[in-house]
Amino acid sequence: MIAPDPDGRLRPVLMPTCAPVPHPAWSRVIAVLLLTVALGACKAVKYDDPPPARASESSAPYQAEVDEGIGAAVAILVDTSGSMKEPAPGDSRPKHVVAREALEAMLDATDAFIARRPDFPVKIGVYSFSSGVRTLRAIQPYDRAAVKAALANLPAPGGGTAIGEALREARPDLYRAGVFRKYLMVVTDGENTNGRNPEQVAREIWSKSQGGVQVYFVAFDTAPEKFGFLKDVGGDVIGAGTGAELKTALDGIYQGKILAEAVDAERPPTKK
């Protein structure tokens, strides 16, 4: 718009403008959207809401996957964590080499036992663990050459120590072996650093197997007291500071405890 000023000259005059008035329907839509955003923000910052409930694991006893008879199944779990590459006490060789040699020597007891009791099946599996778990030989009828080859294929040391995961991984294979007697034998030089707590896993195995799975540890160059919980779940731990002591400890567990139970092999272990 153009209008004269006091001097009589014509000048443009800016007229006041008004903001557009939204349609009533749009006003309602905007209000609903703002309310939704506000409620969402309130919910997002509400930290005291309880987490969703987890489905608890079954507490039912383990069940054999095949028919079972007399015999013994042994899962040998070997620590291949980074610390196993350190020299063994009193030896210039690394601990993993000394441990493999001791396990190979242990096989002599199996040969002698089978010669005396050819009617008693012995089945052996070999597993390694570091940050994870590896099956080197699933539990199968004893074959010295096959077990020795599995031990020769133990991976180079490296990573953490997943003892609980190793127990948990090997346990189901015992229930596929078709024999009453079931054992987990662990050789380790340290404490658990990865995965599940071995004490919790051992207690679960003891409970769900109803005492049917025995767990034995050889604590190589580490304090056996850290595995004292094994005595509460029908197992045991033996300490070994040197390679010679490791051989003695393995013999004490394997021949003195595991194979010695052959005299009671005609029936399954007593449920506890």
Work out the pLDDT band at 59, boundaries 50, 70, 90: confident
For the CA atoms of 74, 174, 57, 201, what is the dihedral angle to 10 degrees?
0
CA-wise closest residue to 78 among 141, 157, 140: 157
Phi/psi for 13 (5° steps) reads: -120, 125
**Residue 178's pLDDT is what?**
95
Token duo for residue 222: 């580490």
Query: Who has greater pLDDT, 159 or 25?
Result: 159
Measure the CA–CA gap between 144 and 86, rounded to whole angstroms.
28
Condensed to tens digits (0 to 9), the pLDDT of residues 109-156 reads 999 999 999 999 999 999 999 999 999 999 999 999 999 999 999 999
- From residue 163, how far is each of 35, 150, 177, 245, 254 by CA, in Å? 53, 19, 22, 22, 19
236 lies in some domain: yes
Token duo for residue 107: 């096989």
CA R_g for the chain? 34
**Residue tagged 């209000």 (tokens):** 31
Condensed to tens digits (0 to 9), the pLDDT of residues 75-110 reads 999 999 999 999 999 899 999 999 999 999 999 999
Condensed to tens digits (0 to 9), the pLDDT of residues 209-267 reads 999 999 999 999 999 999 999 999 999 999 999 999 999 999 999 998 898 875 565 55
Measure the CA–CA gap between 118 and 133, rounded to whole angstroms.
32
Write the DSSP string, 66-109. Answer: S--EEEEEEEEEEE-SGGGGSBPTT-SSBHHHHHHHHHHHHHHH
CB 122 within 8 A of CB 155: no
Write the DSSP string, 244-266. Answer: HHHHHHHHHHIIIIIGGGGGGTT
CATH of the domain at 128: 3.40.50.410
Token duo for residue 17: 């403008």
33 lies in some domain: no
What is the residue range of 113's domain?
Answer: 75-264
16 lies in some domain: no
Domain count, the chain: 1
CB 168 within 8 A of CB 77: no
**71 Cβ neighbours under 8 A, 6+ residues apart:** 120, 121, 122, 123, 177, 178, 179, 180, 181, 265
135 lies in some domain: yes
